[in-house]
Amino acid sequence: MAQIFHRSTNTIARLSIYGAVILIALLGYAVDVINNTSYVTEVNNARPQPIPFSHKHHVGELGLDCRYCHTSVEVSSSAGMPPTETCMTCHSQIWTNAAVLQPVRQSLADHQPLHWVRVNRVPDYVYFDHSIHVAKGVGCTTCHGPIGAMPLTYRGEPLTMGWCLSCHRDPAQFVRPRDHVFDPEWSTPPDQKTLGPQLVRGYHIDTAGLTDCSRCHR
């Protein structure tokens, strides 16, 4: 029987198959890299706000407790945003004529809230409850990053499903004593491998069901 294709076509066919496999792998890798860039995750990207509020100044330097502004963080799914009156508790006495605070004074005069641009957000199909995380020893900086060092607020962590699952699979890595939950300078201690499991047991964290789909998707 006469040979239809030259023998070199076998080599070409193999190279084409291997090349296609390599190309698909490279495309998959490229997509993964792009999905983890700040362009997609918005990590480290500060958003413009009606006033350039500095957590570094108010929290890191003045020592304001997170709960002073985010009053519902211990009792509600939402941490809450401060009303203008909270800002004016101080700024009716200090920096009263500062131009940068004119939107705050105007907000109070017009009885209209400031329209802050949201920085940290999970998709609408994800249920997140601040109060249960705080009660179980998950600190603010675990999810929000070094908030006490931010001149302008930016997203400190990607808040993706994979990122959340890394904690839900092994919360002992991240839980801290409750009296340090709102401590912006807290860092993981050297004995976390011993302390973490103790806190998980003490806080009655049911690790068996933490990765159930219904835990976050309700």
DSSP string for 42-91:
-BT-BPP-SS---HIIIIIIT---HHHH-TTTTTSSS-----HHHHHHHH
Tokens of 160: 């993706």
What average pLDDT does the structure give for the chain?
93
**Residue 214: is its pLDDT beyond 70?**
yes
Helix (H, G, I), strand (E, B) or coil at 104: helix
| Mean pLDDT, residues 163-172 | 96
Domain boundaries, the chain: 1-35, 67-81+118-218
Q: Positive or negative, the Cα torsion across 140, 93, 102, 62?
A: negative
pLDDT of res. 2: 56
Helix (H, G, I), strand (E, B) or coil at 155: strand
pLDDT of res. 40: 77
